[in-house]
Chain A
Amino acid sequence: MLPDKLMNLSDAINIINNDDEITISGITFFRNPISFLTAIIKSNKKRLSFVDREPGFGLDMLVATKSLKKVRAAMATFEHFGLSPSVRKSVEKHEVEYLEDTCGAVVAGLRAGAQGIPFMPVRGILGSDLIGIHEKKGTWKVINDPFTGEEVIAVKAIEPDVAIIHLHMADRYGNAVILGPRYEDELKIKAAKRVILTAEKIVNEEDLRKRNLELLSANSYRVEAVVSSPNGAWPTGMYPYYRPQYKAIKEYYYYAKNGNALEWIETNLYKRWS
């Protein structure tokens, strides 16, 4: 009998420890695990670190509520609406430590983490001022290909303590399916030490057997918790189930810009999921 990992948000939140490094699913306004991030904000977890490639709404919520001490990302943006309001403000005021990365390097680091190897070489990047910053942090190093001598960047493995992934369906054991865009979420699942899934639908094992030509984005072996979370990405989008709520995102943007993000989160998110 496989262990049953289905639990509610208030139990799953205990998998996160103060000082953990977390990563989340999705990009800017899509498939962010907003129900779980709201639970993090309510739980008052301290000094978390955050690593991701192209975050937006979810990251800004965490920064606005002072849940994070460190952020590592290739870009943090609200796209058409502007800069990520709380990230911008908090970095300029030195309230959060920010390490800018670049997409190919984040993917390389997650690939190394997924494979359990110490680093992954990556092309490109040479000449960027990001290199000096990462060499100082100990996250990248310029090395020579031992076979040809070509200069490449070695990216140290990224192994977040916890990956929080919102997806379309999961069974109670942690076998799960993402429909449509995957981004680098499957690498995050493989690279992280612990994986929490929040799912739009909890399905039976038999439901998965009926659609067994699809890729399992997560499997029970890797997953620590499964949380039922219908509409759990709101206001970010969950293609093809529901669209991003741009009106709500824009409203949050202006609240956050004026330093009132928490008020918006309390009003719009606190009672949405239990």
Chain B
Amino acid sequence: MPSRPTDMMIKCLGSFIKDGDYVFHGLNSIIPQLAMAYASLYLRKGFIWHGVTEQFMIDPKSFKVYPSSGDPNSGKNHLGIVTMVDAFDIASKGLMDLMYFGAAQIDEEANINLSVIGNYENPRVKLPGGAAVAYLYPLVKRIIIWSKHDPRVLVKKVDFITASGRKRIENNMETLLCTNKALIEFTKDGPMLRAVFEGLDVNDVISSTGGMEINLGGKVNVISSLSNDELEAIASADPDGLRYEENYG
């Protein structure tokens, strides 16, 4: 039986963590937190786990998600507090390896919108705001975005550029998007389809956007369904299944 798209997304996001990385997560980030748990517990990656709880290096085996990704009850046995202010300084010096960001809209230039749908002065929908994304997007070495594979999200041009992708692409900074169907990389030649989830048709995936043209520039891999061990690693950090309430399927 194929895995649920939510779990496939977590696997996809977690696969970008390398040994020795400094990885940071923000608020409203249950999916990235579980990707970090997956990378640690299943892929056995040894990396610096840090986030908005400010607890430095929690014990991944103790980790559980809560409705807030800033909940300090999520992890146990951390080494101490390292403030977000310090994390931002690390990023400003170009030393943060990986961060995850969500997007309400994302376009062909990897611009992210988390501010408004419609006009800033007269929004149809006031979104939560980008938090750190405008600041960190040009600074963090590797950024993996997660979003729904939905015509309202994958657009030709975002309504508002909360964070600009252009410089990232010009500077060859790794910028990838894990949707709940596929993995897309933003390149100087536009968005390229790198992988689809097992069981999905490539043409269906590239045609279900709201104007973003996803190119087929090379081999398209298949992200396989999760084994029981993989699922158990994720479920141990989310026994109540909060991840499925995030509406990624």
Give the B-binding residues of A (Cβ under 8 A): 27-30, 54, 73-77, 79-81, 83-84, 87-88, 91-92, 94, 98, 100-105, 107, 122-130, 133, 180-184, 187, 237, 239-240, 243-244, 246, 249-250
Contact = CB atoms under 8 A, between A and B. Distances in A.
B28 A77 contact: yes
Contacts of A102: 130-135
Contact of B27 (A75, A87, A130, A133): A75
Interface in B66-86: 66-73, 81, 83-85
Contact of B126 (A88, A127, A133): A88
A125 B135 contact: yes
Nearest first, the 4 A-B pairs at minimum CB distance are A127-B164, A104-B135, A80-B67, A103-B132
B177 interface: no
A127 B66 contact: no
B137 A28 contact: no
B164 A126 contact: yes
B68 A183 contact: no
7 contacts: A28-B27, A74-B132, A77-B128, A80-B28, A80-B67, A122-B92, A181-B70
Contact of B246 (A80, A129, A130, A182): A80
Given A30-B71, A181-B55, A100 B130 contact: yes
B83 A79 contact: no
A128 B162 contact: yes
Given A103-B84, A126-B167, A80 B137 contact: no
B108 to A, nearest CB: 15
B164 A123 contact: no
Highest count of chain A CB atoms <10 Å: which of B28, B52, B66 = B28
Contacts, number: 170
A28 B165 CA distance: 27
Interface residues of B, number: 54
B189 interface: no
B162 to A, nearest CB: 6
Contact of B162 (A83, A124, A129, A249): A129
Contacts of B248: none
A87 to B, nearest CB: 7
Interface of B: 27-28, 30, 52-55, 66-73, 81, 83-85, 88, 91-92, 114-115, 120, 122-139, 160-167, 242, 245-246
B138 A30 contact: no
Contacts of B54: 180-183
Given A79-B67, A183-B83, A125 B134 contact: yes
A75 B133 CA distance: 10
A191 to B, nearest CB: 13
A103 B131 contact: yes
A91 B122 CA distance: 9
Contact of B73 (A87, A101, A239): A239
